[in-house]
Structure 1
Amino acid sequence: MLEWLRRHLYWTPRQKLFTWIVVSAVVLGLGGFAISRWNDPEDRSCATGVERPAGSDECVGVNGDGHDFRVPDLTEIADAIGRENATLKDGEYATVAVLLPLTSADAGMRTKVLHEIQGAYAYQYRANHASNSETPKIRLVLANTGKGNAHWRSTVDRLAAMTGAPHRLRAVSGVATSSTEMREAVTALTGGGIAVVGTTITADDIANGPGAPNRYPGLARVSPTNSDEAKALAHFGRVDAAKALLVQDTRSGDHYTDTLKAAFTASLKGAPYEPQLFTSPADPTEEGTTANTFRQITHLICDTRAETVFFAGRHTQLRQFINALGSRGCTDRAFTILTGDEGSYLGADKLLDRNALKARLTVRYAALAHPDAWQPAPGRPVPATGGSTVAYSTFVTDIARASKKPVALADGQAIVAYDAMATAVHAIRQATPQGSRYPELADVVTQWPQVKGSLRVQGAGGWICLDNYGNPYNKAVPIVELALDGTQRFVQIAWPEGNPPTTACLPPKKK
């Protein structure tokens, strides 16, 4: 039977011809599909202006249409920005980009990113709806540099291409980490004539100054440098160097850590002990093996007469150090840890051992902003200069629009981003000639030397009076303590110059 079917059904001349046609069609079809795939590569777009780079699943690029870069936490705020941008008419706006690692894998950075975008949007809305119809209106776009800022180059290139119509990019804010990648990004942006307003970059070497006045032409910052943070801490704590010790990261190339340890070293002249050293992983958000090193360092600290420990390192290692010092052998002695603004991550760090704070251990850091800094409280009057309750109250009203739920403010990120956006908008509008709808790109970068005195920005986190190099002069530095319940408790405002600025808020001539 099978033999009959083979000869009469499948292998008749007609069936042979049919079989050949079918097989040929399949082969040609597969070949055509392969050729089509070869000529038409996989579509890696995520949204307008955003795509997945080769070898990556991250959505990288620039977008202001409501795209959330596939980060669910950003969906609500990205949608709000998209709706606001959709109300703007072509020709009536200038664009400001917020440059951040939106798809960071680090939990602390993801929280920081969310809060910064919420703060930026809050001021965009104020600029467009509550500024006496000043022009131009402001379009806000989100610019993702990827995990570890690895894709900063392609994103910066895209921003550079947006300075003409219809976008008219006039400033970039964000730039939230003092890393090598961000230094290169700032170099590329300012080298292309684009104004940059850094939010939480504090490294002294990502700044202009008397020694290198045009290193980053057009860069302004709203946060104090690490040197100013260290000076503010010194004025606040009046630390006895003979009873102080420095614990520092030896990994070089991290501009936050490098300049912080230099600033702390300058504050600890005459200290009897050499610094205790550790080396963080290449990616400092990783746990690595530094917890073992800190366990040993705590033994050595108990061997000293130190009462205050200055910590120069990133937040992951700071948390490991606190956990280790909390279980030290000499718990009969009290210690105070003083560190920079990376301490702001501690409040949301679930790996922090809260019991460590019960072991006679106090953790304080120089914050960039805090919600209680400009609110009066019994026994804690608000300084007469350097900031105001009115400016902070305005921010509270504005930030409520950024989320259906209350925006977390304790880490200061939303406040700083709001102030950075306010500074960018101030420069854009000051640079706009009377009768024009928007400024020329080259005119925005020249505005920073005039942001002082009566032309200062009334920031929610304090006055922003810039020196001729774009750095904030004597900016308020809230000193914050990590409380036993994990909340970030405001202690008091400290000042890099020792006292609040005068009413004029005019930086003195630098020697």
Structure 2
Amino acid sequence: MHRLVDAFRNLFAPNLLTRIVAVTAALAVLGAAAWFGWGFLHPDTSCAEGVEKTGPEQECVGVSGDGFVFGNEELRKVGEAIARENATLEPGTYATVAVMMPFLSDDPTRRPTIVHAVQGAFLQQYRANHESNGERPPIRLVLANTGKESVYWKPVVDRLVAMAEGPDHLRAVTGVSTSGQTTKDAVTALTGKHVPVVGTTITADDIANSERQEPFPGLARVVPTNRDEARALTHFGRTDPRKSLLVHDRNPDDRYARTLRDVFDRLLADSPYQPQPIDSTDAGSTASTARQIALFVCGAKDAENVFFAGRHTQLREFVNALSARPCQDRPVTVLTGDEGSYLGSDARLDRNAVKHKVTVRYTALAHPDAWRGAPAPAAGGSRNAYDTFARLAAKGDDLGIGTLARGDLTDGQAIVAYDAMATAVQGIRTPDPGHVPRLVSVANEWPRLMGPQRVEGAGGWICLDVHGNPYNKAVPVMELSADGTPVFVRISWPEGRPPTDCIPPKESG
């Protein structure tokens, strides 16, 4: 301020040189003030090209294929590998595929799965560009961060739609994962703009097309619905509904829990016990509720099986409560969906549960042992397809994405992401070989990916029906071992047996 006052005082000095210097100084001070004021009123919100700070936590939300990893340093290596691969592609010749999901999580059990999913997607990009006999178009991969819990899905979807209409030639969005309302909204918006979507780990039955309605035109899925997972689980081990009860999350916004409950409800129509609710929206009370339900199980003398419809946090609390139940002389089997796959990496799980006669079985989306052992079936998938993936995964360090050891593959995320990208690539390259197809041409390929044109996934055949759903997909059944680690038991099937020709019938269930 003193400098500005002095500058204005000198404007009236008799000496010409003094007046010129004064004018210059005054303009400099006013310019600096204007710059500061503009910066204060219009702060820089850019994180990287195509990525903006958003919301009260200033999360970096948007789309990038240049190595930006949205603040998740665990993604640094694979993000840089994607950037290097993308830099080799000639502009205008490639088709772009986006991996859309939240790339940050406050849940420590989910953070490794995010990295594994991106690594799996990159391995398929690398295979498509380097090991496909020169097939074209080449594939560009970008990461689309929707923020924690996918709260900021809308600006990301808007950006992806613009990329589909512009020179980026976006032709598919994959990585779509959690079965929640925001996912449903994002898929609705993308498919409403004719952008093809390949869902990875979404299993909710109401984020799918069907014979009755098709709210998501252009949606394909590579993992079974909750209904098919439950059918496969019941085919694995016949359970008596009269000796079974249901525990479920009553959160109305959790489509995974709600649709899994609907399936279990039908399977347990003859159960004499009322379903027992847990409310994940009241997080502080769920451990106490789990303890009370464990006591209820002890009181229900004939209850041998508990079907659990909920997320892994509440599942872990319930398993821990069963481990400490007073009736430890009575065996109890807990059966649940693919959220059980997070138990193995959950440090808060009571590892003594199995020793206390608690058996936990769950369906996995994929597992590295499914196609490598002697019990692997002759149809529905192949060891050769899995070994192709495993060979690439073993080159993780050489490819610059970091280590992908067997333990990193047991959550199934890398396998499923790899298969989802394979589905997207097949849909892009089939309609007009060598050229970038139209959006509608890609979406129209989904019903053709069956029979001889099936996707040879590392997790099993992907045989899409005319609605974009996988028919009779292989479902690995897992069980917690005595030390609390998950062990692959065997593959089960929604139809009770593996497919022989990969051609869905007129009615697939």
TM (norm. structure 1) is: 0.91
Match for residue 367 of structure 1 among 364, 389, 407: 364
Q: CA deviation at 1:165?
A: 4.0
Q: Equivalents in 1 of 2:34, 2:363: separation in Å?
A: 64
- State the match for 1:399 in structure 2: 393
Bigger mean CA deviation after superposition, 107-116 or 418-427 = 107-116
Name the counterpart of 2:5. Answer: none
- Residue 300 of structure 1 is matched in structure 2 by 296
Alignment of 1:174-253 (within 5 A): 174-212=175-213, 214-253=214-253
Give the aligned partner of residue 37 of structure 2: 35
Structure 1 residues 70-469: aligned runs within 5 Å: 70-212=71-213, 214-281=214-281, 287-304=283-300, 305-377=302-374, 381-402=375-396, 403-407=401-405, 408-432=408-432, 434=433, 437-469=435-467
Structure 1 counterpart SS, 2:164: coil
Secondary structure of the 2:320 match is: helix
Q: CA separation of 1:43/1:493 partners in 2, compared to 1, >3 Å: closer, same or farther? A: same
SS in 1 for 2:472: coil
Structure 2 distance, partners of 1:112, 1:318, is 18
> Hey, what's the Cα distance between the residues in 1 that align with 2:147 and 2:127?
29
Contact 2:232 2:475 survives alignment (8 Å) = yes
What's the secondary structure of 1:163's corresponding residue?
helix
Q: Against the structure 1 CA distance between its residues 48 and 497, is the aligned structure 2 distance closer, same or farther, given a 3 Å change threshold?
A: same
Shift of residue 31, structure 1, vs aligned partner: 4.5
**Offset, 1:405:** 2.0
Instruction: In structure 2, give the amino acid aligned to 1:63.
Output: S
Contact map agreement 1:58 1:103 (CA 8 A) in 2: no
Query: 1:467, CA displacement in angstroms?
Result: 0.5
Amino acid at match of 1:313: G
Distance 2:426 2:32 in 1: 60
Distance, in Å, in 2 between the alignment partners of 1:445 and 1:91 is 21
Aligned-partner Cα distance in 1 for 2:333–2:218: 39
Paired residues of 2:187 and 2:216 also in contact (CA < 8 A): yes
1:67-96 Cα shifts (integer Å, max 9, x gaps): 111111100111111111111111221000
**What is the number of residues matched between the two proteins?**
485
One-letter amino acid matched to 1:451: L
Amino acid at match of 1:127: A
1:25 Cα shift? 8.9
Task: Give me the TM-score of the superposition, normalised by structure 2.
Answer: 0.91
The residue identity in structure 2 corresponding to 1:68 is V
User: Which residue in the other structure is 2:474 paired with?
Assistant: 476
- Give RMSD over aligned pairs: 2.1
2-structure distance, mates of 1:66, 1:482:
38
* Aligned residues with identical type, % of pairs: 56
Structure 2 unmatched runs, 5+: 1-8
CA shift, 1:255, in A, is 0.8
- Which whole-Å CA distance do the structure 2 matches of 1:80 and 1:352 have between them? 35
The amino acid that maps onto 1:249 is: D
1:361 Cα deviation after fit: 0.7
Q: Which residue of 1 aligns with 2:4?
A: none
Q: After the TM superposition, which segments of 4 or more aligned residues of structure 1 sit over 4 Å from their partners?
A: 21-31
Q: Is the 8 A contact 2:242 2:272 kept in 1?
A: yes
Contact 2:353–2:484, Cα closer than 8 Å, also in 1? no
Matches of 1:431 and 1:288, distance apart in 2: 52
Structure 1 SS opposite 2:168? coil
Report the counterpart of residue 45 of structure 2 in structure 1. Answer: 44
The 2-side partners of 1:397 and 1:114 are apart by 19
1:187-206 deviations in whole A, cap 9, x for unaligned?
Answer: 00101101100000000000
